[in-house]
Amino acid sequence: MKTKKIVAMLLALVMVVGAAAACGGTKTTDTTTAAPETTAAETTAAPAETTVASPTGTTPEDIIDPATDVTDEDTTPIVIYAWNEEFKGLLDKYYVADNAGFTYDYQVTENTTYQTKLDGVLASGDGAPDIFLLEADYAKKYVDSDYTLNINELGISNKELADQYKYTYDFMLSKEGAVKALSWQACPAGVFYNRTLAKQYIGSDDPATVSKSFATWDAFLALAQKVNKDSAGKVKAISGYDDLWRSFQNSRSQGWLVDGKITIDPQIEKYFDYAKQLKDEGLTFETAQWNTDWTANMSNSTVLSYWGPMWLLNFCMGFGYNDDGTTIKDGANPTTGDWGYVNAPVPYFWGGTWIAASKYDNNKATSAAIMRYFTIDSKSMDKLAQNGEFVNNVPVMAAIGEDSTFGVKYLGGQNPFSDLLATAKTIDVSAITGQDQAINTIFNSVVAGYTNGEIATVADAEAAFIADCNDAGIGA
């Protein structure tokens, strides 16, 4: 079905997929707008049972003795590269407030050309950043290169990572065993649902009741059919079938590449058929993630649920309150505060953003300070968590998950963290490679062909997928 020309076109567009990590992928040049605000409600009950997560192992040994003479060699502001404004919003809201006089040069390149820009400046050194952000789907590409520094070179000992979720630093281990980047967030994921629509089509907006409709894939299919029928097709349970893609992908027992060959996990086989049934029965609006229709459906009360981690809620759904914490900001999603959270049929994760220092870093002391502030320091990380971030600090998240007075205003005062803590314990990124973004793009194109009827069977779709990957030089 596919030709080498089509595969080449897909790979040229591959970075669109990586935009998912925190939205806002259409901005270019320097940025000035902070990320959307999320705040915690003052009094609300937590879900029934709290599961306290804990680190699942010891930190890796330092590759070298952490540097003790780390300084800024440059007097100019630190240069930071990113593909969106999320981290800039965090810098402005937290770091700048706690570090008077701090200035920085934040450069945004749109997601479709971000890696191309990085590759060019890192190869030449001309205009290279001091630190830059990485997304899960392609992070390993840079971790396993000579363009990123071992955190030990910044004076950070691996022992300082003891409170982090183990997968976040294990994922950033180079082939030599050096930790090359740190993240401020962990990304367990679930389902955000519109409470008003839940009352109408489920009969309740109580998470304990709503969760039953998302407890299994069969239960969710029945819900999708009911919503579609009862609304005469005007409301759907999800906007597009690819809203479910990450829940299938990131609950696999094995990755795309096993012994160098493309491998199709049973979860992936299930996704082919599930997606096609949703398509054939008209149970979605057939949007694609990140397109304008998909985004618009977040605010027009036609879609019951969106699936993802807290960053999706906080930075992608357009929510916002005024300073009074009660009235909705002008231009914000009018459904702000009218959402709830339940677990998905399977525990899964999605994305994540890591901070890496380039080998051209002339502001190593400042780079280390930023990394410690956002990814190690419990006090500053607690500030983020109190505002709805699922931070990369197990004790901080465990304490908030147990706090019966904590709630997220965007979720109507619900505390989702006890459920997300349990999901976080299941995250395994050991199968992700530096080629996953390219493979994911090819795969989703083949799924589209299958659901549209261009490919007759799942077996044919799998064969086309493997062939297209091989044509792209992957798994051959």
- Tell me how crowded residue 162 is: count the other CB atoms within 10 A of its CB: 15
Please tell me what DSSP assigns to residue 383.
H
Contact partners, residue 97, CB within 8 Å, separation at least 6: none
Cα distance between residue 186 and residue 317, in whole Å: 19
Residues in the chain: 476
Question: β-strand 131-135 against 305-308: which pairing, if any?
Answer: unpaired
pTM of the complete model: 0.87
Distance of CA 339 to the CA centre of its chain: 19
Cα distance between residue 351 and residue 119, in whole Å: 21
107: β partners: 30, 81
Q: Where are the alpha helices (DSSP H) in 316-435?
A: 364-375, 378-386, 394-401, 417-424
Mind giving me the DSSP string for 87-155?
A: HHHHIIIIIHHHSTT--EEEEE--HHHHHHHHHHHHHH-TT--SEEEEETTTHHHHHTSTTB--GGGGT
391: β partners: 185
Q: Which residue has the tokens 């401020």?
A: 184
Cα distance between residue 165 and residue 391, in whole Å: 9
What pLDDT is recorded for position 24? 53
> Going from the N-terminus, what domains does the chain have, and what CATH number goes with each?
31-35+55-186+350-404 (3.40.190.10)
Distance of CA 111 to the CA centre of its chain: 14
User: Tens-digit pLDDT profile for the chain (476 aa)?
Assistant: 443 444 444 444 443 444 444 465 433 334 333 333 333 333 223 333 333 334 445 789 999 999 999 999 989 999 999 999 999 999 999 999 999 999 999 999 999 899 999 999 999 999 999 999 999 989 999 999 999 999 999 999 999 999 999 999 999 999 999 999 999 999 999 999 999 999 999 999 999 999 999 999 999 999 999 999 999 999 999 999 999 999 999 999 999 999 999 999 999 999 999 999 999 999 999 999 999 999 999 999 999 999 999 999 999 999 999 999 899 999 999 999 999 999 999 999 999 999 999 999 999 999 999 999 999 999 999 999 999 999 999 999 999 999 999 999 999 999 999 999 999 999 988 888 888 989 999 999 999 999 999 999 999 999 999 999 999 999 98
Contact partners, residue 431, CB within 8 Å, separation at least 6: 252, 254, 255, 256, 257
What pLDDT is recorded for position 475? 92
Cα distance between residue 242 and residue 189, in whole Å: 15
The helix or strand, by DSSP H or E, that contains position 342, with its residue range, turns out to be strand 339-342
Cα distance between residue 340 and residue 196, in whole Å: 10
- Side-chain-side CA neighbours of residue 31 (13 Å): 27
Largest separation between any pair of C-alpha atoms in the chain: 68
349: β partners: 188
